[in-house]
Chain A
Amino acid sequence: MTILETSNLWFKYSGGSEWALREVNLEVSEGEFIILAGRSGCGKSTLLRCFNGLIPHFYDGEMIGYVKVCGLDTREHPPYVLSQYAGMVFQNPDNQLFALTVEADVAFALENLSIPRDEIRERVDWALKIMGIEELRDKSPLELSGGQKQKVAIASILALRPKILLLDEPTSSLDPYSAKQLIDTIVELNQKYRITILIAEHRLDMLLPYASRLIIIDNGRIVLDGNPREILEKNDVVSYGVSTPRVVKVATQLKKVLGDSSNLGTPLSVEELVEIVRRRRYQ
């Protein structure tokens, strides 16, 4: 089922001289896990902001084409309505937490929507639980590590019960270990709770094994869109500012050495490559 679609979408920020998005056509089905990749400034963030109505409602500019989120045309609905369908988490966790306790932060959006207290309580409990941060409930944001803050930021959006979660480089300020933990949680949201994920990230090595789809954007245009294995098998994505994980490089080279008939497939993680090599070894 299509949950998100754009049709011939163009966008130019007011005051900007170039189009930030060019002719974007996209259809997303429910339950997908999509990575948006590309060099800094390629348009990934801009595209994400089209999915929850920040564009065109918050950012001024020229927009051509349309975006529909769960059937709602983003031009006709304000961000606070669209955010209940497509919730957005930003890069810097500090700038997304407004309250003085974790619980209050997770309740914040619901309070703004005038949701009855009992339901707020229920949703807050749920969001804290699925993010695995119940024990942080009464903590102040100042006491949290970067990774914990980002989990709170995600919980505060999940409380809105969106079908789609938009994440704009959520791990960029985290160290690798915290990043891995956050990504694991995001994967669980997708696999266990069927939340559709669209994530802009540079850390492809951690994400690729879980992604159903990779979209590479260059200069505002979608240049590659498809299964991550196929894309990485056939294309050199470095020129788009996307780093190919080392295992993919090893596998590509291995195929060259062993010949095309080797039938290695395209492993996206260390485990997959080890498995392939093991099978060949003991064939």
Chain B
Amino acid sequence: MIVFENVEYVYPNGFKALNGINLEIESGEIIALMGENGAGKTTLLKHLNGLLKPTSGRVLIDGVDTRNSTVASLSRKVGIVFQNAEDMFFSPTISEELAFALNNFNFPEEVVKKRVEWALKFMELEEYRDKSPFLLSGGEKKRLALAIILAWSPDIIALDEPTVGQDILQKEKMIQIIKQANQQGKTIIISSHDVEFIADLNPRIILMSRGRIVKDGSAEEVLTDIQLLHECRLIPPQIVSLTSRLDFLGFKPKLARPEEVAVEIARRLR
């Protein structure tokens, strides 16, 4: 379980990126942190494994105050996939890239081998095991970045803007992987401003603006609050815009699959 208690974070240059954050995340949840660039999403993620420590207030990861722990030990519990995660590759081969963190965490050698094999298979990267990570395509690099984190099986997986620059096929794959990891009991925290992607995932949404949480609720609740989304400089999903403007047919803003909406429109037109 993750607890933020009145967390405030001020960068050395004086910019207050987090302002009075109170938050509880149960294990096994899928959470989306939403908000425009600069709202504080990434700063919040960096508090999960102690890369940043609160200026005031505290962050508890399974009861452990992050201020009393190291990034290395917190990272065993919380794996963060950063936005340009492919920027962290440095090993000659993909297998070694996968083994790096496992060795840092002092896993026994045979466990390292097993985990690397598992991660290669899970992310469909087996045929590339001895290739250089730099030779992978964009989508494959993203998958490797995720495989690296999954390899040590942290309880909590945080993804920072996983869909930036990704095409629809890659996004669909991402949703599949996230759901799969969640089914294995992982807590998933995604920071994103990709409303359509988040709408498809249908998680609990924490909406942020200027370092504060302005709303915390189900995807349906948050994404249909058009006024609030605008205030947070987000654009509502198309289905929500559509249903909100079909008030003359008795529609209320809602999240639904396009097919359902079409059937509903047809029914009301008759």
Cα-based distance from A230 to B144 in the complex (angstroms): 38
Q: Is the CB of A247 within 8 A of B193?
A: no
The interface of chain A, by Cβ under 8 A from chain B, is: 38-41, 91, 145-146, 169, 172-178, 180, 202, 205, 238, 241-243, 245-247, 249-254, 256-258, 270-271, 273-274, 277-278, 280-281
Chain B proximity of A239: nearest CB distance (Å): 8
> A228 vs B138: C-alpha distance in the bound complex, in angstroms?
27
The answer to whether A40 touches B137 (Cβ under 8 A) is: yes
**Given A39-B169, A177-B234, A246-B239, A277 and B269 contact (CB-CB distance below 8 Å):** yes
Interface size counted on chain B using CB atoms at 8 A = 38
B193, A176: Cβ atoms closer than 8 Å: yes
**B168–A247 touching, CB < 8 Å:** no
Listed by A's residue number, 9 A-B pairs whose Cβ atoms lie within 8 Å are A91-B165, A175-B233, A238-B168, A246-B237, A247-B258, A249-B262, A254-B262, A254-B266, A270-B245
Bound complex: CA A249 to CA B37 (Å): 29
Whether B248 and A40, one on each chain, are in contact in the complex, defined by CB atoms closer than 8 angstroms, is no
Report B-chain residues with C-beta under 8 Å of the C-beta of A202: 165-168
**Interface residue SS majority, chain A:** helix
Closest chain-A Cβ to B205's Cβ sits at a distance in Å of 15
Q: Say which residue of A40, A205, A256 sits within 8 Å of B165 (CB atoms).
A: A40
Complex partner residue of B269 from A243, A247, A249, A258, CB under 8 angstroms: A258
Contact present for B139 and A40 (CB under 8 Å): yes
Instruction: Give the distance in Å from the alpha carbon of A165 to the alpha carbon of B246 in the complex.
Output: 37
Cα of A40 to Cα of B171 in the assembled complex, Å: 11
B36 contacts A by Cβ under 8 Å: yes
Q: What would 10 more interface pairs be, CB under 8 Å, given A41-B139, A177-B235?
A: A177-B233, A241-B167, A241-B170, A242-B168, A246-B242, A250-B262, A258-B266, A271-B245, A274-B242, A274-B245
Instruction: State in angstroms the CA–CA spacing of A257 and B269 once bound together.
Output: 11
The interface residues of chain A lying within 8 Å CB-to-CB of B137 are: 40-41
On chain A, the residues within 8 Å of B246 by CB distance are 274, 277
Q: In the complex, are the beta carbons of B138 and A41 less than 8 A apart?
A: yes
Per-position contact with A for B227-270: 1 when CB-CB < 8 Å, else 0?
Answer: 00000011101110110011011000000001101110110010
Complex alpha-carbon distance, A142 and B178, angstroms: 35
Q: Name A254's contact: one of B235, B249, B265 (CB within 8 Å).
A: B265
